[in-house]
Structure 1
């Protein structure tokens, strides 16, 4: 980077909330399989604590040396459902607890991979893991869970969709905070460094470093400095800014990988908001000229933003992966929270927006009385968008026991505050109970 670009990046860090949102170490646990869940759990603890022993120390040293904030240090592992197939009675919560102890031992923030990929069908181990999620999340502090229920190539597993609607209810009934650590995907990717949906796919190597960059405030400032710019000029501004942000992610990731003696894998080019002032994706959309997020034109503005971020960022990194786009989690975005509290945005509008951005219905609090069938319907709708459009979509909703529309739940920190949003009161239970598989769309057959 040229001297003036370095100066601009330093200003972004000090004035506009620019940071590395996460350094995530991916670790394969396939060599930990022992045929007995408890022995497997011991091996998992040993491998994680060995491979990630210096992760936090290296990240802290880079942060202090270069003045680049690194907000989260995380680990993703092989989908746990794959690790106990030979055990006739797998005790998956034992593995979750081993993962949690390992996370605490190496002092990382979160560990992802308590996961199953069931888009084409469920093994007995998959079913056992999915049913164990409420117990596992209640018994751990740093473990995150995910289930991939659909894919463009295989269609949508509606039996899994039905089950996960009930699992979400059961998780939140114990503690709604636990529901923040559970994501249901379609077209999940194997190198996603962002929680709660991170896992380390079986096609990845033994261990590698991934970074996730963020900078909504930087993009918003760039647009605000050009109030009369045309759409072409706005896109160019966003691309130039995304290049600088992503270049920083590439730099930090490569330095971390070199010092840890492991390969560097990908940069995730996502814009991830926080509840902090001027760190909002919704504010970017409003700066483009919308009175508030949710007004007509919001989906088009988000499509513009997402595409420009990818075009700028992909030139800055050797290998781009993960989700790479704009996140729209309601509780983690100050302007999104304000719009939801004012009734200016609905779940239906958020669903439309997910057709053009990363992930999906994310960090949305809903009334505790919402039925499991309704949650399954929300999962199915979101998965259908991903399957038909060949993109990643997901649902992370939080049914809050005892609360209804007009109230809110406070999570604190990066997770923010979630207004309880209204859910359509129709009953999809007959549809959900049909069972079976919704077939893959015709355009999935590309052989």
Structure 2
């Protein structure tokens, strides 16, 4: 049972350690807005979104004042547009994206996610139209985020979709060349995407979700780092078993705090509470870095030998703490390792301690995958697709979510610097082995079949 006094005490204790409620996300089902008339459809989705989330920002601001904790982002997730807008072509999909952007602007929310398609087994006409619209939609809008699920443990890897996404990412980056390829930073490719992610750019409302629901995303890498440092200073001979306990206990307290706030927002909006996603999602700010947690336990830097082992422990401990604290933990809930969104990870990549290959190895045990990774601008479409395929295979074989948010920065080469601004941060362009060469493997297309572990019935 939640104990408000305990949570308020926790919030007061960690206020100086960069705890924030990273996002309150209202998920909105748009299936009842379906129409084959584009103007009617745009009107329907605009009206439903602005009506359902009309009090989101003001409610969050009121609760911020009550508890003294910042809700860093107010967001909306919606049904995958490729499903609810299936009759429309690519140019009409761009119109829909701009309508969504207009609704988000009116409401004052930071992002709206769900310009999405689920194509792990094949692409419908609606899926193809949405995917083809992504570069223009993300270039012309300010708040739209997009995700495409191209693989799952049950279906295998859709290599046709993966090949297509390499070109889409490259096109999106080139269309925003003056911003280092910013549009690609709002696009993520998934394997095994959850239906209830409140974090962008992957957020969308799954078909199995309620008509409208409130979910929260709690971060706090600075809190975990501070807790570990205190314990190591106070407990002589502290080992990794004890470190895992400290992480679990800290994660449990953060989860309880997030659920309390989320439930209050849901009650105020008259909507059901969905999930709390406890993910150690860093910001580009000092003392709010996942990479610093690695250094707190004695690793020279993230990417050094031992990093994968510690990340496995960190991710597991965070999940265990969240599961202990709440019966409604969902989304991703673990540790993110986004290069450009984390000062310490970016610095490790800049110094060469963290290579793309080591980063990929670490994604086998983290919560997401190759996140906010800037690549040389001359990286070929085929090589981008091949990097995605490798990352998707990790998720499919291990029955976990993996993702790739890759930004081929136009005109930049390995070692150059890119700046995206805000939570998207900045960082180095990472070298890609044989990045500008052909990759005939990707051209074969088809599907890589589901692994034997998919047969679980």
What interval of TM-score do these two structures reach, taking the shorter chain for normalisation?
Answer: over 0.9
Match of 1:433 in 2: 443
Q: CA deviation at 1:356?
A: 0.6
Gaps of 5+ in 2: none
Mapping of residues 260-299 of structure 1, within 5 Å: 260-299=269-308
Q: CA deviation at 1:35?
A: 1.2
- TM-score norm. by structure 2 comes to 0.95
Match of 1:146 in 2: 147
Using the alignment, how far apart are the partners of 1:200 and 1:3 within structure 2? 33
Mapping of residues 104-183 of structure 1, within 5 Å: 104-175=105-176, 176-183=181-188
- Stretch moving more, 364-373 or 409-418: 409-418
Q: 2:216 aligns with which of 194, 211, 218?
A: 211
Q: 2:418 aligns with which of 379, 402, 409?
A: 409
Using the alignment, how far apart are the partners of 1:6 and 1:88 within structure 2? 50
Measured against aligned partners, the alpha-carbon deviations of 1:185-240 in whole angstroms (never above 9, x if no partner) come to 00001100000010101111100000000110110011111224111111111111
CA contact (8 A) 2:22 2:72 kept: yes
CA contact (8 A) 1:25 1:52 kept: yes
Measured against aligned partners, the alpha-carbon deviations of 1:133-189 in whole angstroms (never above 9, x if no partner) come to 111111111000110000000010000000000000000001111111100000001
Using the alignment, how far apart are the partners of 1:329 and 1:272 within structure 2? 8
Using the alignment, how far apart are the partners of 1:112 and 1:341 within structure 2? 31
Q: CA deviation at 1:410?
A: 1.2
Using the alignment, how far apart are the partners of 1:109 and 1:88 within structure 2? 27
Give SS of 1:185's match.
strand
Q: CA deviation at 1:69?
A: 1.1
Match of 2:311 in 1: 302
CA contact (8 A) 2:90 2:132 kept: no
Match of 1:445 in 2: 455
1:196/1:285 CA distance change after superposition, 3 Å: same
Using the alignment, how far apart are the partners of 1:318 and 1:276 within structure 2? 31
- Stretch moving more, 156-165 or 85-94: 85-94
Number of aligned residue pairs: 446
1:328 aligns with 2:337: yes
CA contact (8 A) 1:253 1:264 kept: yes
Using the alignment, how far apart are the partners of 1:9 and 1:88 within structure 2? 48
Gaps of 5+ in 1: none
CA contact (8 A) 1:19 1:215 kept: yes
Give SS of 1:202's match.
coil
Mapping of residues 382-393 of structure 1, within 5 Å: 382-393=391-402
1:17 aligns with 2:18: yes
Using the alignment, how far apart are the partners of 2:356 and 2:91 within structure 1? 37
Match of 2:324 in 1: 315
Match of 1:367 in 2: 376
Q: CA deviation at 1:90?
A: 7.0
Measured against aligned partners, the alpha-carbon deviations of 1:337-356 in whole angstroms (never above 9, x if no partner) come to 11011111011111111111
Match of 2:72 in 1: 71
Give SS of 1:432's match.
helix
